[in-house]
Structure 1
């Protein structure tokens, strides 16, 4: 007799549900591991909320912390954080795809669809090949970054080979996966004038944040931009634009700030500005004290954190593709065109609705969370807004108020990090599984807009 009760996988009728459930399970496992006494340097159990916040920050590759990573966590705890960052960066569904391949050598339809949802590939037939490429490419990039960092720590800072290798591997994983966890209490401020370390970290973060489909296409056709897909063209164009915008803005606003760029020479200021422009895209490291930057720099950072990086990459935010397509939608509307064209391709109406939905949901979520956190804490609006956008964009930067927002504030930021990692549209799809087809059309009526 066959039981009428559906099996566990059958309860998840939509691929987005599997993504949400997998990330939730990863956060739960991370919380349990970080709650163990062995995970702390003092050998005492960590408060559950602190463990939850740290686990969510690692899985969601954010980097916000309520305790100092280097002094609070033991080597075991640091390894757990690195492992959670790796899992979050690759995507739990991508890892599940790889494990399925190792065990059975084949993929079921449900697993392929779930992996497609997480990796945002354009064809289900690409999932199996892409899973292998993502895994190998990620390891290769992290290995290169780890070797460069290890060498610098040995040569430039007198670290033993073992310690240098540990630092190199940890921060290579943290940089490529945009998790932002650091094993020094001052983040990367001590390396502000070291181009070897700063550029290694920055390049690793940029490559990881571009998005795997874009990186693979650039590797194949970097000499032929005319053959690039719309996804790659928008991602590269907006990424370069934002990097230049951020660098110039931070140079202009912080050039004479005695608490940030002021003490640096001209070359150091340029390096610091570039590094500071890269990090809001979701990497979360800093070479100057964010809390000492001018409010105008905070506002520019808010914008960069909200936009984030590329689709299907390790970065968060609403994505550069979203903001790029939104610009084309606005431009088409201003010109009175009935279709949105990008290059020699037309943007489907379904994609246009997704762009508007993601942007509006992101703005609404940030607004509600900012209001809530303002009501819960005594901090200023600019500080709270910065913290909220950093959590939602999984950027991991902070003006210094993260430990002081209280338990309710920590739980709110945890939810924001979770939503920011899996994406507003993915979460919305998981909650609204019953898609209804309307078999009739209502009469059209023009409404005054504006």
Structure 2
């Protein structure tokens, strides 16, 4: 009786709604960090869809159609650069600010973003949040469990990595804007417009998005190599990945101490960049609609610019639809590969391609293990690379089939835009703006799949990994 009376006099304190929400989110994060990250990404897309559909976001003061608002939100958060509307004229100043803020949020990366939000909620960076951020720099952690932390960023350094993400994004975008601003003033652009456009272009370059604030696109700067060079620098740095930038920040003078991941990313990126340039020179030198009327120096520069942008940049000084079919195929291959892991670029990533080549070389030499830069690469990384390529190719194939049926367009045009969506590149043949609403939703789903990442999505779909306590009889099928 006394205990009951005491309980009535001293009721349990009311639990704050903030605490309940925090505990609920923490429960989701504990069960599956990758699913929590996808939920965060999805929530952001829904919020930005609502904001883009508001009359205040439109330059005409009217409600934007749902499929256009959703596609823009996905393209912004997934830092893709494709659009179903004219980005230079559709949005009001409020809408343009949404685009600017959205690409910077999306460029941070899905798992890193989820970690930062989790840190903001709990006011500390715990082990679970560190694991989530670390998996963005080395996705094999969420696929096969513990791995050698020296291959990317050590778990204890994730806090420093998150700080590097924020600082590097701010510094690089500010530096690119500082290069663009005086050039625009020289070209006669008003100071206020030049300041806004320089910040806008720098964000689009570093996040590898490729939106243009000008209605005419880059045509006004097609021959301005200072302007185009600054964009290339921003795109290149953004496509390397935050682990590579982090390695530079803590030891750029000692390349021998760089991890295998950093070395593979740099070497493969440079090889693909100049290989793409040479292919564009060979394939487009006789095309009067693209580079055929240019001199040798201009052809080399424009080909290099095109090669960098197909890696996920999204800017173009030419009409993509004017490229030869062979160049469209080369562009699709470069876009599908993309940039570095944990970068603002998309695609299957350059390290995935490198691992496949290492495996092929090891098989040709009759060696059991893959090696790179004096280090052995475990075979589970090869299985992960094959899974990434297979899921990516399947996504592109299914989306292409559906869009071919919906749009009735030619295969080369559909395939190019689908790969651009999956690789979050942003280049387009013009097909995207002509798609019906059902086609827009298909391409939006393709962008989401490409940005979230096949590894993260596969880990999210797998509720748990069960350990098999027995082995079945072995038998070798005929391959090749």
TM-score by length of 2: 0.89
Structure 2 CA distance, aligned partners of 1:118 and 1:26?
Answer: 18
1:149 pairs with one of 154, 177, 180: 180
**Segments of 4+ in structure 1 off by > 6 A?**
none
Partner residue of 1:342 out of 372, 376, 388: 372
CA distance in 2, matches of 1:226, 1:110: 32
> Alignment partner of 1:71: what SS?
coil
Q: Does 416-425 or 343-352 show the bigger shift?
A: 343-352
2:341 matched to which residue of 1?
311
CA distance in 1, matches of 2:388, 2:110: 22
Asked if structure 2 preserves the Cα contact closer than 8 Å seen for 1:70 and 1:183, the reply is yes
Q: Is residue 355 of structure 2 the alignment partner of residue 325 of structure 1?
A: yes
Question: Cα–Cα, structure 1 residues 14 and 104, in superposed 2: closer, same or farther, change >3 Å?
Answer: closer
- Structure 1: stretches of 5+ with no match in the other structure: none
Cα deviation for residue 225 of structure 1 reads: 3.5
- TM-score normalised to the size of structure 1? 0.95
Q: Which region of structure 1 is more displaced relative to structure 2, 211-220 or 412-421?
A: 211-220
Gap change, CA 1:391 and 1:25, over 3 Å in 2: same
SS at match of 2:457: helix
Deviations 1:90-112, CA, capped at 9 Å, x for gaps = 12543454466567652122222
**Cα drift, residue 400 of structure 1:** 0.7
Deviates more, 1:220-229 or 1:58-67: 220-229
CA distance in 2, matches of 1:102, 1:52: 27
SS of aligned partner of 1:264: coil
Check conservation: 2:210, 2:314, Cα contact below 8 A: yes
SS at match of 1:330: helix
Q: Deviations over 1:283-333 (max 9, x none)?
A: 101011111111111011000000000011100000000001110011111
Asked if residue 409 in structure 1 is aligned to residue 426 in structure 2, the reply is no
Maintained 8 Å contact 2:38/2:110: no
Partner of 2:83: 65
Partner secondary structure for residue 341 of structure 1 = strand
Q: State yes or no: 1:173 paired with 2:203.
A: yes
* Residues 25-50 of structure 1: CA deviation (Å, up to 9, x unaligned): 11111101100001011000100110
Query: Given the alignment of the two structures, is residue 11 of structure 1 paired with residue 41 of structure 2, yes or no?
Result: no
Conservation of the 8 A alpha-carbon contact between 1:192 and 1:268: no
1:298 and 2:328 equivalent?
yes
Is this contact kept in 1: 2:281–2:300, CA < 8 A? yes
Q: How does 1:48-63 map to 2 (within 5 A)?
A: 48-63=66-81
Q: In the aligned structure 2, how far is the partner of 1:355 from the partner of 1:93?
A: 19
Equivalent position of 1:430 in the other structure: 460
Matches within 5 A, 1:219-230: 219-230=249-260
How far did residue 432 of structure 1 move? 1.1
Which residue in the other structure is 1:23 paired with? Answer: 41
CA contact (8 A) 1:22 1:93 kept: no
* Structure 2 residue runs without a partner (length 5+): 1-11, 139-151
Equivalent position of 2:427 in the other structure: 397
Q: Compared with structure 1, are the counterparts of its residues 273 and 108 closer, same or farther at alpha carbon in structure 2 (3 Å cutoff)?
A: same
Coordinate RMSD, CA, aligned:
1.9
Give the C-alpha shift of residue 373 in structure 1.
Answer: 1.2
The answer for the alignment partner of 1:129 in structure 2 is: 160
Q: Which residue of 2 aligns with 1:88?
A: 106
Aligned length: 447
Give the conservation status (yes or no) of the 8 Å contact 1:60–1:88. yes
Aligned match for 2:394, one of 361, 364, 378: 364
Matched, 1:280 2:310: yes
The question of whether the paired residues in 2 share the 8 Å contact of 1:332 and 1:338 is answered with yes
Give how far 1:149 is off: 0.8
Q: Which has the larger radius of gyration?
A: 2
